[in-house]
Amino acid sequence: MTVSWRIALIDSCGSWPGALDAAAFVDAGGRVDRREPAADPTGHGSRVAQLLTSGDVALELLLGQVFVDARPASAAAVAAAIDWAVAARTELIHMSLGLAADRAVLAAAVEHAVAVGCLIVAARPARGALVYPAGYAGVIRATGDARCAAGELSHLSPWFFGGCPRFEAGAAATAGIAAAGGASVGAAWVTRSILQGQRQPTALAAVSALSAMAQYVGPERRVRAP
């Protein structure tokens, strides 16, 4: 099968069958060290990797491990992973994560990635405060939407899409992972939809294609019980 995409998953996953490359980025007192990746400390990144690679599109997968233990990732570590992925000529960077604070180092890394034509998909909550890197210009924002079944999409607002907040039961059972998720899983479904379409589109073309595929338009509305 001909490889269609080179993508980077920035998360907690340190290894995956057939991964092209992997590196860990650890914030050590204000300095980011690049290290050999470790075992996935939370299982989160492995769940996302399983979903991204479960389609029928051949991928070259790079893993930027920024969660090496139970502590939150720093903006500097995520920025270093983005720079590494861009240097490796990655066409799409997926981040099922969101940091509460806007940091200059992260903004600069995202700006550079977008400028060279790398697609970025990042998770953000459907409601509440904006998180980063989803809050930066040129990033496709994604979340979980309870209206969406596996493979379905919603178009919530410009550059903001929803996907199924759950893994398919069969896929989850096969991988031995939990079927539940949320924004991070919905974001992975959105990226998976991009990967199934035109190879290496511009960000605008990817947004247009996602909009055309969406089964639902507008924010998810909660129905108040009588």
Which token pair is 58?
């051949």
CA distance 191 to 169: 19
pLDDT value at position 15? Answer: 96
Q: Where are the alpha helices (DSSP H) in the chain?
A: 44-52, 75-87, 104-115, 169-175, 183-195, 203-213
Q: For 138, phi and psi rounded to 5 degrees?
A: 90, -5
Once rounded to an integer, what is the mean pLDDT over residues 71-97? 96
- Asked, for residue 226, whether it belongs to a domain, the answer is no
* CATH number for the domain that contains residue 136: 3.40.50.200
Q: Residue 109 and residue 58: Cα distance in Å, rounded? A: 27
Sheet of 140-144: strand order equals: 31-35, 21-28, 58-65, 3-11, 92-95, 119-123, 140-144, 160-163, 153-157, 216-217
**Which residues partner with 144 through β-bridges?**
163
Q: In angstroms, rounded to a whole number, what is the distance separating the alpha carbons of residues 187 and 65?
A: 18
Angle, alpha carbons 82-88-94 (nearest 5°): 40
pLDDT digits (tens, 9 = 90+) for 98-149: 999 999 999 999 999 999 999 999 999 988 889 999 999 999 999 999 999 9
Query: Nearest CA to 111 among 82, 91, 75?
Result: 82
Q: For the segment 142-194, what is each residue's pLDDT rounded down to a tens digit?
A: 999 999 999 999 999 999 999 999 876 444 443 444 445 689 999 999 999 99
At residue 92, does pLDDT exceed 60? yes
Mean pLDDT, residues 19-46 taken together: 93
Domain annotation covers residue 225: no
Which structural domain, as residue segments, surrounds residue 85? 3-217
The answer to whether position 152 is within a domain reads: yes
Lookup: tokens for 79: 């920025």
Number of domains in the chain: 1
In this prediction, residue 2 carries a pLDDT of: 56
Prior bond to 133 cis, omega within 30?
Answer: yes
Judge whether 222 lies within some domain: no
Does any domain span residue 154? yes
Q: What was the pLDDT predicted at 56?
A: 82
Cα–Cα distances in angstroms (integers) from residue 86 to residues 48, 76, 82, 115, 221, in the given order: 20, 15, 6, 11, 37
